[in-house]
Amino acid sequence: MVVGQALGRTVSPRAGLPVADLDGRAMRVHQLIVDVVARVTPVPASVLDVGCGGGELVRALGAALPGASVVGVDPRLRRGLPGSGRVRFVEGSAERIPFADDSFDVVTASLSFHHWADKAAGIHEVARVLKPGGWLVIGDPLLDGPLRNPLLGWLARVTDSGRFATPDEVRAHLAAAGLGPVTITLVPKSWRLLYLIVAPAPGVA
C-alpha cells in the first residue's frame, strides 16, 4: 500500500534535487524513493544511501528529511562531496559498509544495485546496519519483462554496466538476510524496466 501510494502521486521536483543534472529515469526513481522513505518512516533519525554516485539522492533525502542524518556511501566518491555534517559522504562498498550494526533507520539504493559485485553479501550488510524495524528501499532495473529478451538484456549491460537480478533472486537474497516481506513494484512509465523494492527489517509492526 505504501509503495502504491507513492507511485500513484504526481512526482514533482523537490528542494535540493538538481533536476538539470539528472536524466528523467534517475530523477523519477530518486523522487519515488524519497516519497516511499517519507511514508514508511515519517521521522527517521538516520538514512544511508548505498552506491550514492554524485550524491543527488542523498541531498534530496536531506532536504526532504530535515531532522535526519543522511550518509552516502560509494567506493569511488567524487571530489568535493562533504565528509562531515548532517548530510555527508564516506567511501565504502555495499559488501563492506563502514558502519556499526543497527546504525540506520532506512537504507536506500538508487540505480546502483546492479553494480553491486556480490548482491547477497551486500544485502546481508544492509541487514546488519539496519536498526530493528528499519526499512530497505531500492530502485533498480530487474531482469524481467523486456530485459528477459537476450538482445535487450545485452544492450542494457553494455550501456549501463553491471548485472541485473531477477525478482526471484532479489526475494531470495532478502529472505536469506532476514528482511521482508518484500514488495516489488513496477515503476510506471519506465518502459517496464524499473522497479521499486521495499522490505522491512524485523521489528516492523
pLDDT tens digit string along 25-56? 667 899 999 999 999 998 999 999 999 999 99
Of residues 173, 168, 197, 152, the one with CA closest to residue 33: 197
Rg of the chain taking only CA atoms, in angstroms: 16
pLDDT, residue 25, reads 63
The helix (run of H) or strand (run of E) holding residue 171 is helix 167-176
CATH no., domain 2-200: 3.40.50.150
pTM of the model: 0.84
pLDDT, residue 20, reads 32
The helix (run of H) or strand (run of E) holding residue 64 is helix 56-64
Distance, CA of 103 to CA of 115 (rounded, Å): 23
Task: Flag residues of the chain having pLDDT under 70.
Answer: 1-26, 145-161, 190-192, 204-205
Of residues 92, 95, 105, the one with CA closest to residue 38: 105
